[in-house]
Amino acid sequence: MLLRCAIQLSIRSERREGVMRWHPADSISQQWYCASASSTQSRPRAHVKILIVDDHAHARDSLTQHCERSDDLHVVGEAACGKAAIDAADTLNPDIMLLDVELPDMSGFELLRAVGAGTRPLGIMVSSCPDLAIRAFAEGAIDYFVMPVTAGRFDLAMARARHQLNSALPGRSRLTSSALERGPTPPNPPRFLVGERQRRLYPLDPKSIDYIEADGNYVTLRTGKVEYLSRDSIKNLSAELAELGFVRITRSLLVNTAAVLYAERAGHGTFALTLSSGACLHSSAVYRDSLLRIIPLPALSKRCEGTAS
């Protein structure tokens, strides 16, 4: 029996052997079909759900064949572009996503960030070029395949992924299907942020960054006197870096509170923050409460006010 749902998605899906295949649609109103449990009784019970994202059918088929060698790896979906992959990840909630570095509508890095804000699947980047491996790890990928990938290399990456999935479940010694049916989790701080400078990509420890400023469709990462450009947004970074002490002080500024040397009241609920690098940033009244939650600045005493004057 098939569970049929008519939904408004700009994708087309197709059932084949219990796999949902997601591709760009010709029209915005489409249907998707999901095989029921009875259609998968012939295969072992799945523990790890895989979503494959690549615009080349032969690459998707190759990765699927690798997955089929293991009883606990279940390919729940395929996507040929970033938009379809985002919709598929939201619906299928995969545990691991194998994604191409270059897709027709966005890069694999952009896709990894887009789905990372919600379902948080583990990302393994796929490419025919080894040059982007450093950036892939800096963007949060747990592994990087240079195609064609060997069986041994694939199995090693899956072993690492299983271990990481186990580690993400406190109190559990092994993966269970019920545990992996998890909902959205809070974003974890990234190990590195990737900064671009003079056509070079630099993996940066977030703790070394003084502040981040919106720059059109990008952001500027400032460490001391050096600036880097990053393909990200203040909104995403403010959520990802909150645990590391970053706080938004204006619509376009995100500050590492560990880099603040001292603060001065600037009137009307605003502050002037001087950083250890010498930079001076002014907060806005709108973000006053957010700043005070991280840095509980008290009112100046009479004695300090007299000294300051």
Give the tens place of pLDDT for each residue, 118-137: 446 899 999 988 888 878 88
- Each residue of 206-217: b (16+ CB within 10 Å) or e? beebbbbbbeee
Q: Which amino acid is at 305?
A: E
- What's the length of the chain? 309
Give the tens place of pLDDT for each residue, 87-98: 888 888 899 999
Q: What pLDDT is attached to residue 244?
A: 87
Q: How confident is the model at residue 164 (pLDDT cuts 50, 70, 90)?
A: confident
CA distance 21 to 52: 9
Q: Which residue has the higher pLDDT, 52 or 176?
A: 52
Q: What pLDDT is attached to residue 187?
A: 52
Question: What is the chain's mean pLDDT, rounded?
Answer: 76
**Could you tell me if 174 and 191 are in contact, meaning their C-beta atoms sit under 8 angstroms apart?**
no
Q: How confident is the model at residue 216 (pLDDT cuts 50, 70, 90)?
A: confident
Average pLDDT over residues 132-149: 84
How far is CA 254 from each of CA 17, 114, 250, 268, 285, rounded to the nearest angstrom? 48, 20, 7, 20, 15
- Laid out side by side, the sheet with 143-146 consists of 11-16, 19-24, 73-79, 48-53, 96-100, 122-127, 143-146
Q: How confident is the model at residue 168 (pLDDT cuts 50, 70, 90)?
A: low
Residues 6 or more apart in contact with residue 230 via CB below 8 angstroms: 193, 194, 195, 196, 212, 218, 219, 220, 221
Q: What pLDDT is attached to residue 284?
A: 93
Give the tens place of pLDDT for each residue, 240-287: 888 889 999 999 999 999 999 999 988 888 999 999 999 999 999 999
Q: What pLDDT is attached to residue 167?
A: 66
**Could you tell me if 119 and 97 are in contact, meaning their C-beta atoms sit under 8 angstroms apart?**
no
pLDDT at residue 108 greater than cutoff 90: no
Q: What pLDDT is attached to residue 178?
A: 39
Helix, strand or coil, per DSSP, at residue 51: strand
Q: How confident is the model at residue 304 (pLDDT cuts 50, 70, 90)?
A: very low
For the chain, domains (ranges, CATH) are 2-180 (3.40.50.2300), 196-308 (2.40.50.1020)
Q: What pLDDT is attached to residue 121?
A: 86
pLDDT at residue 45 greater than cutoff 60: no
User: Sign of the CA dihedral 273, 278, 279, 280?
Assistant: positive
Please give the sequence-ordered ranges of beta strands (E in DSSP) within 154-225, or none if there are none.
Answer: 193-197, 200-204, 211-215, 218-223
Q: What is the pTM of this model?
A: 0.50
- Long-range own/partner contacts, residues 226-229 (CB < 8 A, 24 or more apart): 226/197, 227/197, 228/195, 228/196, 228/197, 228/202, 228/204, 229/195, 229/196, 229/197
Q: What pLDDT is attached to residue 26?
A: 40
